[in-house]
Amino acid sequence: MKNIKVLGSGCKRCQQTEEMVRDEAARLGVDVSVEKITDYAEIASFGIASTPGIVVDGKVVHAGGLPKPEDLQKWLVA
């Protein structure tokens, strides 16, 4: 199971990023645990200054703006 953290304040882009992660995981048949992190101190601890951010199994893979679908696929199947 992939452990995914979506980092962001809860803005529309952050919500959309979480939906994109869940939808792509379901489409690929990848078992994921998605956690939403909204605490600014915790977000900063990942070294992210621009949200939304995505952390996959403890590694920051994305920060700022919406992720590309092909990138999501790469992160989820790696």
The CATH number assigned to the domain holding 53 equals 3.40.30.10
Report the domain count for the chain.
1
User: Is residue 11 annotated as a catalytic residue, yes or no?
Assistant: yes
Q: Reduce the DSSP state of residue 48 to 3 states and report it.
A: coil
Apex CA 29: angle with CA 26 and CA 34, to 5°? 50
Question: One of 4, 6, 7, 14 is an active-site residue; which one?
Answer: 14
Domain annotation covers residue 49: yes
Residue 32 CA, distance from chain mean position: 11
Q: What is the pLDDT of residues 25-75, one digit of tens each?
A: 999 999 999 999 999 999 999 999 899 999 999 999 999 999 999 999 999
Task: Please tell me the distance from the alpha carbon of residue 8 to that of residue 25, in angstroms, as a whole number.
Answer: 20
In a domain, 13, yes or no: yes
Q: Is residue 54 part of a domain?
A: yes
Catalytic residue among 3, 9, 10, 11: 11
Instruction: Flag whether 78 is in a domain.
Output: no
Domain assignment of residue 58, yes or no: yes
Which residues of 1-78 form beta strands (DSSP E)? 2-7, 32-37, 53-56, 59-63
pTM exceeding 0.75: yes
